[in-house]
Amino acid sequence: MNARISAALFMSHVPAIGVAVDLARTDEPYWQPLFDGIRPAREWIADNPPDVVVLVYNDHGNAFSLRMIPTFALGMAPSYEPADEGWGPRPVPTVDGHPALSAHLAQSLIPAGFDLTLVNEMTVDHGLTVPLTMMFDQPAAWPCRVVPLAVNVVQHPAPSGRRCLELGKAIRAAVDSFDEDLTVQVWGTGGMSHQLQGPRAGLINREFDHDFLERLVADPEGLADVPNVDYLREAGSEGVELVMWLIARGALADLGGGPPPREAHRLYHVPASNTAVGQLILENSPA
């Protein structure tokens, strides 16, 4: 039996959420509503565990730096250590990879025209570890393997939404042709609206965020044609992280002619630190 994509998950990666868990502050009044809000997602994943997550995220100058920022970088390693982001690495488990699936993805995607950078050794920052914490809390070991796919949304120009959606479609085809019985989820992370610096620091755009969530579910092809400058203007300089969600959306079966996905969970919460938090789960319907 081949591998199959069971669901796409979408969520923000606000570093303060990781800190709240690491420092046992989730019951404080500021945090409790958010952690109540993500509980259904944690219950869902307990019932729908992945063997492997293809985790689409952005690095924040930890594995990479302003010296070198690959547009799409695929992790090939057997494991990834949490990065030291300036205050020491987060107290979370090492992330185990899946080198055979990584190699298969590279062998499928590069001939299909997606010229990925292959990364044999790297650390992973809050962009990758906070979504894991949001879904799995504080396990002794992460309950699944992870294939990291790092996307440049730090230095202009980020890849277009269209390119991201098409990459997602190619990931679905690649996973479907992997000759191992694996349940795979694709997670798109980052966002939602936020801007961390400059005169507009603190920007939140609820209307844009809700509209993005609606269109991500119901109109992904139309959403893919939104230019990146619209994200920057409407959702803030870091709001452009949202283009990564289109990679996960592209990996669902409906965009290859299958039935529409089922929405299992949706959360929108403001604020967490400077950021609007969104979380969405779309299950692939059985063919």
Q: State the residues that interact with ligand DHB by CB under 6 A.
A: 13-16, 60, 194, 196, 238, 273-275
**Smallest distance, Å, CB 241 to ligand DHB?**
6
Chain position carrying tokens 């620091």: 201
Distance CA(70)–CA(194), nearest Å, equals 23
> C-alpha angle 250/233/156, rounded to 5°?
65
Pick 95 or 277: Cβ nearer ligand DHB:
277
- Whether 194 is a known active-site residue: answer yes
Marked catalytic residue, from 13, 98, 194, 269? 194
Marked catalytic residue, from 126, 210, 265, 269? 126
Query: Do 97 and 53 contact (CB within 8 A), yes or no?
Result: no
Query: Do 273 and 15 contact (CB within 8 A), yes or no?
Result: yes
Question: Other CB atoms closer than 10 Å to residue 177's CB: what's the count?
Answer: 12
**Smallest distance, Å, CB 260 to ligand DHB?**
30
**Smallest distance, Å, CB 237 to ligand DHB?**
10
Host H or E run for residue 157: none
Preceding peptide of 157 cis, ω within 30° = yes
- Whether 156 is a known active-site residue: answer no
Distance CA(153)–CA(190), nearest Å, equals 10
**Smallest distance, Å, CB 58 to ligand DHB?**
8
Pick 166 or 238: Cβ nearer ligand DHB:
238
Pick 14 or 267: Cβ nearer ligand DHB:
14
Pick 87 or 140: Cβ nearer ligand DHB:
87
* DSSP state for residue 66 in the 8-state scheme: T
Catalytic residues: 126, 194
